[in-house]
């Protein structure tokens, strides 16, 4: 670990930054604001923080229900704790963002949230009894509401608006490698040892996540940048902040677009995986595993590219790419029968995933700049994502029961196309003009 984090020659520039530095020899942005230049240790700390955190968070996916089943939980109880967790994860988004905005030290807030996630993961692994699991789900869901904005805030606080797209590409890359490896590792542990061992594996990743977090130098995180500027005196209050954010039209349009994206996207993988289980005898499990892990690797490769192109081309072309890949995936799922081809179509998830992982925090940073409510805005968009995702699974489940899976996939592809049209017609380009910050 220390090889990755502390040792080695100090690096002050990101790969993309070097090219920019050559183009603009001095950093006028930083000199003007007097913000500290992030050190190599901080930037690598952020890399690995994002990586290990994604490891831990992967454990709280659909696997929780399998694990609780093996611990002799009834389906009713499992449904209850999962719904409560999902509910907290939804309504906690906006308060979570407000907490990060109000925090004097984003790093300490993030540290507390990581500790909470780690504790809830260990509690789930070691003592799967109802009150513990119930509390663990609430704690983890609440902490996640803080962690999403906190990562973006730390990134923005470290590198500033000017380099944020590159940094977000790098974050998405590390996060997806982390969650892909965690899924593979959990699968292996669950198969060879036990489901509980799989949980202990990912829970223990919260320790290196905390370790990496404290490699980020607190003084290098500019609090003004991390909060997206300074709120006007009357707008400090989160309620007033929200009202202010609701007047930013591009933010509302964008929140609507990502809600539509999730409405189309969230149920696609589970339904496609269920089709693989139905249609392939011997390799179904391997195929489902590949469908989960392979798109993560594509995200890892593509997202730095997305980060660079977001600066060169602007945000809109990449949003078009994201929605187009989603709609094509839906249409392919609806028309393909062969499980291997289904698995191939699922790779498109990596394209949409890479684009969205970079663009969501990036566009929110674009449009909420100078409001002092960057994280509140992220919470609001996160809430829209959550609403879209929860309707998606319910609706797709209903349609595939009532009609068939083809109809459900066509419906989701339709939502993707509606999202594409809505985005193309109404969403403005949000890239700040060059030279401005």
Partner 1 sequence: MPTFGAFARRILCGRRRSRQEAAVLVAVALFAAQQPVIAATRSSEAEPWHLAQAAPSPQTEVTPPSQQAAAASSPQNDDKSKEEKTSVPATVVDGEQLESVLGIEALSSTGDNMGHIDDIIVDRSGEVRAAIIDFGGFLGVGSRKIAVDWRSLHFDPKKAGAVVVNLTKDQLRVAPVYKAAEPVVMIGGPSAKP
Residues near partner 1, by CB under 8 A: 61-66, 69-75, 129, 183, 186-187, 190, 192-194, 196-197, 200, 269-270, 272-274, 276-282, 284-285, 288-289, 291-292, 401
Q: Which lies closer to partner 1 via its Cβ, residue 152 or residue 198?
A: 198
Tell me how far, at minimum, the Cβ of 209 lies from partner 1, in Å: 20
Tell me how far, at minimum, the Cβ of 366 lies from partner 1, in Å: 34
Q: Which lies closer to partner 1 via its Cβ, residue 70 or residue 370?
A: 70
What separation in angstroms does the CA of 205 have from each of 53, 58, 181?
7, 11, 12
Work out the angle between the directed axes of helices 130-192 and 284-312 (0-180°, nearest 10): 100
Question: CA–CA separation, 355 vs 352, rounded Å?
Answer: 5
Tell me how far, at minimum, the Cβ of 251 lies from partner 1, in Å: 32
Place of tokens 């001095």: 26
Q: Which lies closer to partner 1 via its Cβ, residue 110 or residue 288?
A: 288
Q: Which lies closer to partner 1 via its Cβ, residue 242 or residue 292?
A: 292
Question: CA–CA separation, 5 vs 45, rounded Å?
Answer: 6
Q: What's the farthest any 2 CA atoms get from each other in the chain?
A: 64
Question: CA–CA separation, 393 vs 400, rounded Å?
Answer: 10
Tell me how far, at minimum, the Cβ of 192 lies from partner 1, in Å: 5
Q: Which lies closer to partner 1 via its Cβ, residue 91 or residue 184?
A: 184
Close Cβ partners of 257 (under 8 Å, ≥ 6 residues apart): 319, 323, 419, 422, 423, 427
Q: Which lies closer to partner 1 via its Cβ, residue 275 or residue 326?
A: 275
Q: What's the start-to-end Cα distance of the chain, in Å? A: 36
Question: CA–CA separation, 28 vs 298, rounded Å?
Answer: 35
Tell me how far, at minimum, the Cβ of 54 lies from partner 1, in Å: 15
What separation in angstroms does the CA of 160 have from each of 154, 252, 313, 369, 399?
10, 24, 20, 11, 45
Q: Which lies closer to partner 1 via its Cβ, residue 173 or residue 291?
A: 291
Tell me how far, at minimum, the Cβ of 387 lies from partner 1, in Å: 22
Tell me how far, at minimum, the Cβ of 74 lies from partner 1, in Å: 7
Tell me how far, at minimum, the Cβ of 405 lies from partner 1, in Å: 11
Tell me how far, at minimum, the Cβ of 400 lies from partner 1, in Å: 9
Q: Which lies closer to partner 1 via its Cβ, residue 214 or residue 398?
A: 398
* Burial of 154: CB neighbours in 10 Å, binned 0-12, 13-18, 19+: buried
Q: Which lies closer to partner 1 via its Cβ, residue 19 or residue 341?
A: 341
Q: Which lies closer to partner 1 via its Cβ, residue 245 or residue 276?
A: 276
Q: Which lies closer to partner 1 via its Cβ, residue 63 or residue 415?
A: 63
What separation in angstroms does the CA of 244 have from each of 56, 235, 241, 368, 428?
35, 8, 5, 10, 19
Structural contact between residues 182 and 149, judged by C-beta atoms closer than 8 angstroms: no
Residue 312 CA to its chain's centroid (Å): 23
Close Cβ partners of 262 (under 8 Å, ≥ 6 residues apart): 384, 385, 386, 387, 388, 389, 392
Counting every residue written for the chain, the total comes to 437
CA angle, corner 349, sides to 348 and 355, nearest 5? 95
Structural contact between residues 224 and 218, judged by C-beta atoms closer than 8 angstroms: no
Tell me how far, at minimum, the Cβ of 249 lies from partner 1, in Å: 37
Question: CA–CA separation, 201 vs 218, rounded Å?
Answer: 29
Q: Which lies closer to partner 1 via its Cβ, residue 65 or residue 217?
A: 65
Structural contact between residues 199 and 121, judged by C-beta atoms closer than 8 angstroms: yes
- Computed on alpha carbons and rounded to an integer, the radius of gyration of the chain in Å comes to 21
Tell me how far, at minimum, the Cβ of 401 lies from partner 1, in Å: 7
Tell me how far, at minimum, the Cβ of 197 lies from partner 1, in Å: 5
């Amino acid at each position: 670990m220390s090889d990755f984090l502390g040792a080695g020659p100090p690096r002050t520039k990101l790969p993309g930054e070097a090219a920019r530095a050559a183009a603009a020899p001095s950093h006028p942005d930083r000199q003007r604001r007097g913000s500290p230049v992030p050190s190599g240790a901080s930037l690598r700390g952020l890399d690995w923080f994002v990586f290990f955190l994604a490891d831990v968070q992967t454990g709280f996916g659909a696997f929780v229900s399998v694990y609780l089943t093996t611990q002799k939980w009834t389906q009713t109880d499992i449904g209850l704790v999962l719904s409560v967790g999902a509910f907290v994860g939804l309504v906690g988004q906006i308060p979570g963002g407000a907490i990060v905005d109000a925090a004097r030290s984003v790093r300490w807030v993030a540290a507390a949230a990581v500790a909470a996630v780690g504790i809830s993961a260990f509690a789930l692994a070691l003592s799967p009894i109802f009150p513990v699991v119930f509390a663990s789900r609430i704690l983890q869901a609440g902490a996640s509401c803080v962690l999403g904005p906190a990562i973006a805030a730390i990134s923005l606080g470290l590198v500033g608006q000017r380099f944020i797209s590159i940094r977000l590409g790098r974050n998405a890359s590390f996060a997806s490698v982390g969650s892909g490896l965690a899924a593979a590792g959990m699968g292996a542990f669950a198969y060879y040892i036990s489901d509980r061992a799989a949980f202990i594996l990912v829970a223990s990743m919260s320790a290196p996540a905390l370790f990496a977090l404290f490699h980020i130098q607190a003084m290098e995180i500019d609090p003004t940048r991390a909060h997206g500027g300074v709120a006007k005196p009357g707008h400090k209050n989160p309620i007033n902040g929200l009202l202010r954010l609701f007047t930013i039209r591009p933010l509302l349009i964008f929140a609507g677009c990502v809600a539509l994206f999730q409405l189309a996207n969230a149920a696609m993988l589970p339904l496609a995986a269920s089709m693989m289980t139905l249609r392939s005898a011997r390799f179904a499990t391997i195929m489902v595993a590949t469908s989960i892990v392979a798109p993560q690797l594509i995200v890892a490769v593509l997202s730095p590219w997305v980060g660079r192109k977001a600066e060169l081309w602007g945000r809109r072309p990449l949003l078009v790419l994201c929605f187009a890949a989603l709609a094509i995936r839906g249409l392919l799922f609806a028309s393909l029968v062969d499980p291997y081809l289904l698995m191939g179509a699922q790779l498109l998830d990596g394209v949409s995933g890479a684009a969205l992982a970079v663009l969501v925090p990036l566009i929110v940073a674009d449009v909420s700049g100078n409001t002092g409510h960057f994280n509140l805005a992220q919470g609001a968009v996160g809430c829209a994502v959550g609403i879209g995702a929860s309707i998606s699974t319910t609706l797709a489940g209903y349609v595939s029961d009532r009609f068939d899976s083809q109809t459900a996939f066509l419906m989701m592809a339709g939502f993707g196309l509606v999202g594409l049209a809505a985005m193309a017609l109404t969403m403005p380009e949000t890239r700040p003009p060059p030279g401005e910050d």
